[in-house]
Amino acid sequence: MTDLTDLTIAEARDKLAAREISARDLTKAAIDAMEGARALNAFVTETPDRALAMADEADKRLASGDAQPMTGIPVAVKDLFCTKDVRTTAGSHMLEPFTPPYESTVTANLWANGAVMIGKANMDEFAMGSSNESSYFGAVKNPWRLGDTDLVPGGSSGGSVAAIAARIAQGATGSDTGGSIRQPAAFTGTVGLKPTYGRCSRYGMVAFASSLDQAGPLTRTVRDSAIMLGAMAGYDAKDSTSVDTPIPDYEKALTGDIRGLKIGIPKEYHSDDTPKEIEALWQQGKEWLREAGAEIVDISLPHTRFALPTYYIVAPAEASSNLARYDGVRYGHRATLEKGDDLNEMYEATRAEGFGAEVIRRIMIGTYVLSAGYYDAYYLKAQKLRTLIADDFHKAYEKVDVILTPTTPNPAFAVGAKLDPIAMYYNDVFTVPASLAGLPGISVPAGLSSDGLPLGLQILGRAFDEETVLKVADVMEQAAGFTARPGVWWK
């Protein structure tokens, strides 16, 4: 019999519906796997008792015929989604003691659909990072290894992807500001979908950069991604950036037929710095789609070269504003006042103690670019460039249906190998442009590096056209036939 944790969401859903397995048994298997994989440091908080109670409720729904697609499916929740009465830290000492009195809309939607929470997944502090090494609770280790060398899982959704790749949970929530769903998916041989900005509510998500943050699913297959997105998405009046548009049946979009679709290949994504094996995989991806009946079209996104510096002005600027609320007054960490200290000294001490080095770095950058004398020189210019980057995509989609690119410029790297911030930021070079434009994108595992590590290809689509993105991704997934998985070294 297949190990229950090996089941995909679609497989588990069908077996649950046929009453071949129970939600409790599926959840118990996930809890056992989570406990056995603590060496990965994938979870900040484990919630086994709550998970089993939710599983029992799911079994009741299944027995009554009131099941939804995610009913009884164990999921890991990235620890920036507020979960009522369950600690939510955003990977930071600042929020270490915070227990929300309310639920994020995304997780509330999942629970309404019958999903089961097994725990809160570790992450880069306040979602700021590309390797999951900036968490206050320690680095997450990639289930994939290179000999005896520990690798990063990517970030900031590193705990979420580790839980998927290690066969702990069937699905996980992630958030993507500049690539934090797609990049870690590529590093771990999993599927990561960033929906269109506004497709999933941001209510109850701990904010990093409000004009960029977007929730999305992390799964093992494209079909699972379609199922999970359907349960997460929806209009929310509590989020002013939520878009009131119908949620289609994404799974029905997976027809396997992409004949006649036009696939854009942006010339600007070719770089002398990109390893030959990633360029070769990109070429292979084009061939797979061409063989499936799609037309390959060369396009230009001329402002792509400005995307990374634009992002690292806009995102820190918004972060410096959003993180100003953490002053030790209302909730979270508060520094101990010495006799004679005033309120300003308490603010300073609280923020110095509560934030890690990467968060402080981005707050300082953001404060600088928003300051008098530099606002016009940096922030306003970055916003103008952001508009030009978005316009490039709009013009491209007049000619093509989706765009195909690599997801990352390299496979997963060793823990501690990229301490230079600029080298770390370069990991987002292929993912940031779509984030600035607010467009949907998905990373699909498509091959292995010469060292045997996962590599991903990225498909980008028009705003609110996740259906076409998923349809093309499904075809590419079938063509790639990626079945590799990490060895179980952590038990």
Return the ∠ at Cα 436 (arms to 402 and 179), rounded to 5°: 75
Closest CA to 407 of 176, 61, 80: 176
Whether 156 is a known active-site residue: answer yes
**CA–CA distance, 203 with 369 (Å, rounded to integer):** 27
Which one of 92, 130, 134, 180 is the catalytic residue? 180
Contact 4, 26 (CB under 8 A): yes
Torsion over CA: 367, 371, 374, 377 (sign) = positive
Tell me, yes or no, if 381 is annotated catalytic.
no
Catalytic residue among 78, 141, 418, 471: 78
Please choose, from the candidates 372, 434, 381, 24, the residue with its C-alpha nearest in 3D space to the C-alpha of residue 214. 434
**Is the Cβ–Cβ distance between 72 and 12 less than 8 Å?**
yes
Q: CB-hemisphere CA count at 13 Å for 328? A: 19
Tokens 């290809």 belong to residue: 457
User: CA angle at residue 116 from 111 to 43, to 5 degrees?
Assistant: 115
What is the C-alpha to C-alpha distance for residues 257 and 254, in angstroms, rounded to an integer? 8
Greatest CA span in the chain, whole angstroms? Answer: 74
Q: How far is CA 164 from CA 64, 153, 332, in A?
A: 29, 11, 30
- Give, rounded to a whole angstrom, the gap between the first and last alpha carbons of the chain: 21
Catalytic site residue from 156, 157, 160, 201:
156
Q: Give which of 393, 213, 196, 242 is closest to 303, Cα–Cα.
A: 393
Provide the annotated active-site residues.
Answer: 78, 156, 180
